[in-house]
Amino acid sequence: MIFRAQELARIDQKSFAQAAQITQNNFPSHTHFPHPLLPGVSDFYENGRRRWFRLLEKGGKHHEVPVHHKAQDYVAEYLEKAGFEPNKPLFQTFNKKQPTGRPMSRSEAYRMIRRRALDAGIFAPVCCHSFRATGITVYLENNGTLETAQKIAAHESPRTTKLYDRTDDQLTLDEIEKISV
């Protein structure tokens, strides 16, 4: 289901979420829903006029983050098309185009993202952290602050957030022209 891959990418990019926060994490395969530590459809919830994500962080902490308006529309459409029930996983496996109710594992999410990237002609290594890095980089390029990016990503240290910042990776012609001999 291509739509599911797009939503996973959009959530990672727009909320700086990690795949482990929105898939099965490192839980055993016999873990059943509803499970208090696994994100379900109900973890995409309304708070006032906006939607929020409730994400599970390392150490069992919950992190709540407002949903970007574009991601809000995409995820609402995804859930409507998939017909998920509120007590089911947000991202679940499919069998013959029907949701199974079983949460998608990180490795399944990775394989799905790789398949979609290859289908799109992207042969460079891509993973869910690529989307997180893109989201943080774009946020910082648009004059966002490192401190706020750190809060959105729920990082303990700004050094961790800086690891995802790709703004220094872009070499411009203006920088090359500064070389005077």
Pull the structure tokens for residue 98: 């029907």
Q: Are the C-beta atoms of residues 51 and 45 closer than 8 Å to each other? A: yes
CA distance 4 to 103: 13
Average pLDDT over the chain reads: 77
For residue 79, pLDDT over 50 is answered with yes
So what's the pLDDT on residue 146?
94
Q: Are the C-beta atoms of residues 161 and 136 closer than 8 Å to each other? A: yes
Q: Among 10-24, 72-86, 93-107, 136-150, which range has the highest average pLDDT?
A: 136-150
Architecture of domain 2-177: Orthogonal Bundle (1.10)
pLDDT digits (tens, 9 = 90+) for 136-179: 888 998 999 999 999 988 889 999 999 988 887 767 777 777 78
pLDDT digits (tens, 9 = 90+) for 22-44: 554 433 343 343 444 456 778 88
Minimum mean pLDDT among 56-65, 100-109, 168-177: which range?
168-177
Pull the structure tokens for residue 129: 């952290």
* Helix, strand, coil in percent for the chain, rounding step 5: 50, 15, 35
Q: Among 9-23, 96-110, 145-159, which range has the highest average pLDDT?
A: 145-159
